[in-house]
Structure 1
């Protein structure tokens, strides 16, 4: 029964699947750690049973990055790994040694279910024990043996098979950006816009983007990410609206939806702007400004206009903040969408912390005084941009390999250099942009291309592409197929080191 015996992790269309069952340890293939649960195991056309998370999860000395869960421990990674090995379905069970108490299953309401090209279910430990019982195998004992030896204990379940029937109804929900305008009054400049933005969504009950997937079902409030930026946006809108001084250009305040799903709100806006995007003077993005430590603020995008370095340094000094900067206009937040449209951008960010994408990112940890100083800095920059005689020039930054990730980047895998367009529902990965000088750019790939194959493997979505980058090394040359204007185009890309 759904919610009692299992919950879905992934699905395709409605389907009926049957096959023999194979136990595949943790379902992990991690060459960098010298570990592969599938070594010598044939799983084509079979149903794979695996443990959740990863070996020695609570051991600070674990080769799997200590107690921090790597991407190998995520359900989606396990599902894609099984799919590429030919499995028909994957059953994931909560590992008993590290999680002896509590519910076996995440809350159904928290589950955002993806189409990963394979049926993937979280099942209860009671269900897993029933599958293992005929072979006199013990789930906890198997896990202990794997963890102690750090070697696979995979095997087919003699005589065991399963039938999975999925009846799928897809529900599409509409979410909204919230936009407010303060018009300008200068006859020459009123058509230009200074944009201030912050995303107002977070993770709800957790799920696929949570850094604590074992806590799926607990509310992730996102006080810093990004209630801090959203509150700052509201405060700045109120302050500028109350200011009786001259306003040469318009201010546009945008609270973006669906940033955590892939910058969807900002990607939609730049394709459907309320005011002409070519008239956007700059975009100032506030994302996680509530945890200022050591009086320091990091500002990304200072290389996107030659005027920005001096402008930002002056405002930081006036606000009493120690300034750290990054040149790139890219990054895992909404300013990237504007930078890809040749708009100068600045990204205000107080830094990552141990509560990022966890239920513990809550209000009592917010440094309100520090956030207020950041708002003073943003307000000063916005006001000077609004009142300047000339708009700042745009500069395309020469990107270092893997550059531009100020928050939320995994740093896993080789460097390719594309910027995915998450707003389009396509089979494959559409590129919103390609970083200049990157492996993708050197291979002739460009914005608008849709990747459909990588190294001979089908690419259905960004999860597939991310998985493939983690399984290939810098220096490897791989064949990539994209659709350009609807026609397939094959090229070879030499991957580089991510720095």
Structure 2
């Protein structure tokens, strides 16, 4: 702790010195010249300062910054103290620098039962673990009723798909398939061959609940995954006998909205339910592929009753936020978000996953850009639009901090001009020839081939933002690569810009790429290319300034 405080003090002394040195340059910058001259404060972004922050955040003392650990909380306090020292406005919960939200973990309770009733036959009790188990999103309770097949259970108006268009679910049990239509179809409207957001189980459950369902049965997709008689995932992988090393967090606001029992069932059990109504589960699964959504199928005869017991534990959590308010009353209500995530993977035994590139690099860049705006403000230069600096938490658990923000934003998303997300900006992309599943979909390439390269993702959702990034790069001369938006690596959906893109906000992901040290204990501060990283941070700062000053704003395009 004392070392970190000394480092901060030293940085503040250097910052004051740079204010004096940079005065002449900053005075020469005018709003009219923003496209060709460096943004005010841009020269204050230095490799030595970035390195100091990366080494602190990725030091062994932070113990890998895992969610809900002392190291994670220490990182949040460090970032908030920096925001305060730089004069950012505290716009978080209760006038703080924290945007608070809750996570939730779940545990398997003691009373989980399913009973299948078919007229004329004795009731049948499927076996827990072999034929069913409660879904982690399930509420605790007991319910049951007649069964209605609703295909994949998806409502996606933007894609013209609604599996409930003819459904009457009031007081009934919804039977639906896991996953999504056209799962292996590159031309599928559900994001091609990558997993779409619409296939998230909790979204399907909430859609069925909204239609009046009293319970949900989730069954394997035997059309896209033929020959799978059992469960979609074995119970031991969902409810392991021993608690996992890293808790499986979910967003509390999602789970608390689920008020009905939900169980995963085997394909064999689904077949028995459907056969009791003289239908074929295989035929229904094939029909669920219909473009636009299925006509719901009532299954007269069988009734399913279930009791679920799931123990929910709430975990308080927080993002770190600070605002530079815009100077122009016409535009200050429009916000630009610059972001990075401060959590990482923690420790395993004696191994510390320091997360220097992932994503201490992005957080250091975030702080350095905030400092550039502070430098500019002292010299009389303020952006026309407001700039929110956001350090998200729990990205490694499923982008949960960013999802929490989009569900409860500090400012309307309709008034959010763009999101610039920095995640892993300190290395050169390096994909080994036999790298395994971590590098699925990525072509082998050397670090040397990417020595001046940075990937920009999200470009297909906003060509305007792509052009703005290219313009901002004129002064830094990086090789911007636009190549991974539609890639089986699913990189576009693996960092915190994704929740904003899903909500229709123009957003880009600035990312130097994966490498063999990704998510290992070798991702340490001495591996970072700080000179290259400084150029990337200057480019992002320039882009944010240009977006803040331009009268127009980038548009979102449906891909």
Give 1 or 2: higher helix fraction: 2
Q: TM-score, normalised by structure 2?
A: 0.42
- Does 1 or 2 have the higher relative contact order (CA < 8 Å, sep 6+)? 2
Q: TM-score, normalised by structure 1?
A: 0.46
- Find the structure with the greater CA-based Rg: 2
